[in-house]
Structure 1
Amino acid sequence: MAHYAEAQETLDSYVKARVPLITVTTIEQQRALRLVGETASSPHRADLPFLKYTRATGLSDLRSGRPVIDDRSLIGAMDFAAEQFTKRPNSTFVFVDPDDLTSDTSASRHVAELARQAETNGGALILITDTPIWSGLQRLGMGMRLDLPNSEEMYETIAGVLNDHRGVPGIDIHWTEADARQAADFLVGVTEGEAINMLTTMLAKGRLERSDVLELVGYKDRIFGDLAGLDRIATRKGEHEVGGLRNLGRWLDRKQQLMVSDLRGTALRPPRGALLVGVPGCGKSLSAKAVAARWNLPLYRLDLASILGQYLGQSEGRLREALETADRVAPCVLWIDEIEKGLGAGEHDSTGVSQRLIGQFLFWLQESDSRVFVVATANNVQGLPPELLRKGRFDELFFVDLPDEDDRREIITLYHQRYLKNEPAPELLEKLVARSEGFAGSDIEAALHDVGAEALLNGGTETVSDTYVIDVFTNTMPLIRTNPEQIEQIRAWGRERAVPAGTPRPADSAQGQRQSRRLVQTTP
């Protein structure tokens, strides 16, 4: 990764060495031109000619912008460069976005011949492009990358825009340095130009409040609207509430504080995320949506099934692209549903694809410092690879069990309000709590959804009797009754190996069982 200061040092050394062909690969052409311009403005290069070519302006002096020739074609500029290399040694020509040079074409060979002529006369060609160039050209010189601005560079850009607008009539700026730093962290992954456009759009309102920092996440999300390997999941506050899971909720509240904290000057990194395992239908997937909605962050779903390809290396390439995309759209929540189906032990073992994908994903989890909070879920705990469960991969491993009485009481109240627009009477609530023993959260939701549908069809909630509601719960068949062996196997695994997402139960440490992992209590 070569950011601006590193790229400037590298380019300066190449120009000083008179490397005949220098390739600067970047998607930010104007930023690259500024880089070359600063290199050309060095006092000891004042007498050396620097000229640039763009399709819009043709050939002009890099420093003054004065046109050099009337012919604005690339061929005309290259012919002029060939002539100048013989007349004025040590000339440097900068070509921005030249014709396709990715393969062996007549244009590539023309540039190669020009580079050889530059080498003979101490000249240099600088190509600014966003695509790789033909290997035959690469061997004639040196290449470098100018990556997107890092957090520190983005802060300088933001500070510059804010300083330009402070004191401007009609614009009231309340951001502090800490706010600008936080905004810089949020905008890592966009170009300098995109960042300036976002800020000036916000300033156009005439007032920049401290709370507007989070608005940048929405602007950034709109830039990356359609992304390879990731599905954007729409979320709204209040639509994805999760009943129960109190321990998970308290843990997430503390992680949210760390997610938006300024970590400069510390050895800390942003939260990596949580792996949720447990009984199907108890809120694992819903928790991913709830986190994104609660934190006001965009939610992206990584579909591992779509990652798998039929050709050698295709799956690994798709996963790498998806994870790089997640880094760019950060801060965000990345939801990986049923992770065991894509990275589970035994999948594609004959080809080694599974192990390579696991290694690639775990390396990203370990090394990425972007603010991507991963919520991965798993139902088949036996299919999880051991490497995924080691401490340090995810921040924590949570077990989502069937809800207890208190959790069921909260879940019933939640869905009763959603589907019937009121809270259940205390007497009815206690009867439903008793009738829903062994229910998953999804079972409770399904039962109350049926009650809500009945109320709608019959003209209102007053037409639905308590007896009918109790009968609906009585006739609901939860998974623990239809497949008790599988559910008990999952619960036994979770009690021993994971932190409980809900309230720990005394029964979990009954005689003959290992005690569940202790939950560390933190002071508020």
Structure 2
Amino acid sequence: MQPDRDEVQELCALLRSRFPIILIESHEEPRILELLTKAANLESQVLMTWSITCGIRRHGRDEAIYQTNDLLDMLKHLDKTAQNGIYVLCDAHPGFKDPISMRLIREIALSHSKTARTLVFISPRLDELPSEVLRLSAHFHPQLPNRDAIRVLVNEEAKRYEKQTGERPRGDKQALDMLIMHLLGMEQDDVRRLVRQALRDDGAISDDDLRRVLATKYEALGGAASLAYEQSKVKFADVGGLAQLKHWISLRRKPFLDPSAVNIDRPKGIVLLGVQGGGKSLAARAVAGEWGVPLMRLDFGALYNKYYGETERNLRNAFAAAEAMSPCVLWIDEIEKGISVDGGDGDGGVSRRVLGSLLTWMSERTQPVFIVATSNDISQLPPELIRKGRFDEIFFVDFPNAEARAQIATIHLKKRGCDPAHFEVPGLAKLSAGYSGAEIEQAIVSASFEARARSEALRPADIQAEIERTRPLSVVMAERIDELRSWAADRAVFADECATSDDAAA
């Protein structure tokens, strides 16, 4: 376990500094009370505790002062008492909306120089305290378990499980290391409960336990509305083409996940620019799946709010949640739709402030959060966002070449229970020159519907006919795509090898 000496000494320093109010935002009430008990003993101060169920009483005793269950009644009593000491208020936050209670708290705090009554608030939420009370307060932030402390907790629970069941817990070192990594950022009690649940489930630490830990961790953060959590099962084997992007990502997995890596050398993120249906979203999911980390999707639609300042607050909360879920991949889909290049003049400056918050966080973040931003039109993005240093690289996702189209067709045929060997895949790849991955998939899907309507098995001719009936995006929007490809030629790295001569002719 982590030693609590530093935390106790920090609390003692706050008490000796004569802050009239100490704020502790935490779910670990019993552990915090234990720390405060040690600090009170070291400082030779009386420790009193209050809750709405028990009223105010000397810590460790059962007898409470009569009629002090209500927060206002307790504050009136405390305002009249001359007893110096530490008064711990547990879960008092529902009373923060009462102006009389807030005034009494302020009067008690302002009289601290005459009667040293230190108010300590312990609650999972302390964000509604008025500014006049915050000015008189000091914050104490309990330590979260580090990797070594979590490993000790896991070993303790494993020994307890073996003692009670007679069975030795199962699981390889990689699964254990991943579990410890994903438990970072959680409070000690939550860590112990999740480890216990993982072991009691089947006596082993498995991928299912990792998914459960991540889901619980996301829910514990309140499930930020603008940040959706997804445990991606997509791997690069499920993505056709993009050979250069896959190689680039594979080289950066270890530096990103290595806990000893210096933050300045950790991969930061990429921009995936390209045509619609080219596989940018699938690639974003595959990065998270390949690295085995959670995928956090930032939704600009849920981010924006009509009230002044709420959009920026939602963005800060989303960033805080992403850091708490780290290591993770933060996917910002169609980023150009959330950040305007016109400087935000059309929306009262909201997008300009959002851009400033995003740039600041990208420059100052210390947690392993890898950004994958996708865009269909990079000309709509401000230059200060896409310059080198913000992102590691800009990749251009073009229409797949012949080899990639064959891979895509094979993947989707296998997904639908068809043997690719019976479908002349090279011929399909040649026939679908200029088609995106989404268009190839849709051709197979439509052909499957046609075959099922005839109560027959899917045939190569069905897919060929569907491909011939389709007018691909490369034809429908040829001019815009040529402009995009021309821009990327000298400014971006192609995610896959260039098209073959047959593709160019098509």
TM range (shorter): 0.7 to 0.9
Partner of 2:17: 17
Given the alignment of the two structures, is residue 491 of structure 1 paired with residue 485 of structure 2, yes or no? yes
CA contact (8 A) 1:455 1:461 kept: yes
Q: Is the alpha carbon distance of 1:333 and 1:20 closer, same or farther for their aligned partners in structure 2, counting shifts above 3 Å?
A: closer
Give the letter for the 1:416 counterpart.
Answer: L
Q: Alpha-carbon deviations, 1:297-354, whole Å to 9, x = none?
A: 4433212233233343333222222222222233433221111111241263353333
Partner of 2:38: 38
CA contact (8 A) 1:282 1:442 kept: yes
Give the letter for the 1:315 counterpart.
Answer: T
CA contact (8 A) 1:308 1:314 kept: yes
Shift of 1:476: 1.8
Q: Alpha-carbon deviations, 1:440-481, whole Å to 9, x = none?
A: 11121121111111222222326x3x4443232222211111
Partner of 1:520: none
Q: Alpha-carbon deviations, 1:93-151, whole Å to 9, x = none?
A: 22222264535612222333433555313332323342242334345x3321426x446
Shift of 1:434: 1.9
Q: Distance in 1 between matches of 2:172 and 2:61?
A: 37
Q: Is the alpha carbon distance of 1:151 and 1:177 closer, same or farther for their aligned partners in structure 2, counting shifts above 3 Å?
A: farther
Given the alignment of the two structures, is residue 370 of structure 1 paired with residue 370 of structure 2, yes or no? no
CA contact (8 A) 2:182 2:326 kept: yes
Partner of 1:440: 436
Partner of 1:380: 377
CA contact (8 A) 2:86 2:119 kept: yes
CA contact (8 A) 1:92 1:126 kept: yes
Q: Distance in 1 between matches of 2:231 and 2:360?
A: 29
Q: Distance in 2 between matches of 1:239 and 1:178?
A: 20
SS of the equivalent of 1:73 reads coil
Q: Is the alpha carbon distance of 1:40 and 1:172 closer, same or farther for their aligned partners in structure 2, counting shifts above 3 Å?
A: farther
Shift of 1:281: 1.3
Partner of 1:356: 353
CA contact (8 A) 1:277 1:378 kept: yes
Shift of 1:499: 1.6
* Aligned 1:329-344 pairs, distance under 5 A: 329-344=325-340
Partner of 1:300: 296
Q: Is the alpha carbon distance of 1:196 and 1:65 closer, same or farther for their aligned partners in structure 2, counting shifts above 3 Å?
A: farther
- Amino-acid identity (%): 27
Q: Is the alpha carbon distance of 1:225 and 1:288 closer, same or farther for their aligned partners in structure 2, counting shifts above 3 Å?
A: farther
Q: Is the alpha carbon distance of 1:269 and 1:181 closer, same or farther for their aligned partners in structure 2, counting shifts above 3 Å?
A: farther
* Aligned 1:31-180 pairs, distance under 5 A: 31-42=31-42, 45-46=43-44, 48-62=45-59, 64-69=60-65, 71=67, 73-74=69-70, 77-78=74-75, 81-82=78-79, 84-85=81-82, 88=83, 90-98=84-92, 100=94, 102=96, 105-129=99-123, 130-131=125-126, 132-139=128-135, 141-146=136-141, 149-150=143-144, 152=146, 155-160=148-153, 162-163=155-156, 165-166=158-159, 168-170=163-165, 172-173=168-169
Q: Is the alpha carbon distance of 1:269 and 1:369 closer, same or farther for their aligned partners in structure 2, counting shifts above 3 Å?
A: farther
280, 285, 292: which one pairs with 1:284?
Answer: 280
Shift of 1:156: 1.9
Shift of 1:8: 4.8
What is the aligned residue count?
A: 492
Give the letter for the 2:104 counterpart.
Answer: H
Give the letter for the 1:108 counterpart.
Answer: M
Q: Is the alpha carbon distance of 1:176 and 1:52 closer, same or farther for their aligned partners in structure 2, counting shifts above 3 Å?
A: farther
Partner of 1:409: 406
* Aligned 1:232-251 pairs, distance under 5 A: 232-233=229-230, 235-237=232-234, 241-251=238-248
Indicate the larger mover: 184-193 or 390-399: 184-193
Q: Distance in 2 between matches of 1:176 and 1:461?
A: 44
Partner of 2:418: 421
Q: Distance in 1 between matches of 2:237 and 2:450?
A: 23
CA contact (8 A) 2:255 2:266 kept: yes
Given the alignment of the two structures, is residue 188 of structure 1 paired with residue 223 of structure 2, yes or no? no
Q: Is the alpha carbon distance of 1:9 and 1:275 closer, same or farther for their aligned partners in structure 2, counting shifts above 3 Å?
A: farther
Structure 2: which 5+ residue stretches go unaligned? Answer: none
SS of the equivalent of 2:138 reads strand
Partner of 2:314: 318
251, 261, 274: which one pairs with 2:258?
Answer: 261
Indicate the larger mover: 19-28 or 412-421: 19-28
Q: Is the alpha carbon distance of 1:157 and 1:71 closer, same or farther for their aligned partners in structure 2, counting shifts above 3 Å?
A: farther
226, 248, 254: which one pairs with 1:229?
Answer: 226
Given the alignment of the two structures, is residue 395 of structure 1 paired with residue 389 of structure 2, yes or no? no
SS of the equivalent of 2:252 reads helix
- The two structures, once aligned, show a CA RMSD in angstroms of 3.4
Q: Alpha-carbon deviations, 1:141-199, whole Å to 9, x = none?
A: 3321426x4462x6425523532542624253468999776544422343333222211
Q: Distance in 2 between matches of 1:99 and 1:468?
A: 65
Structure 1: which 5+ residue stretches go unaligned? Answer: 511-524
Give the letter for the 2:139 counterpart.
Answer: M
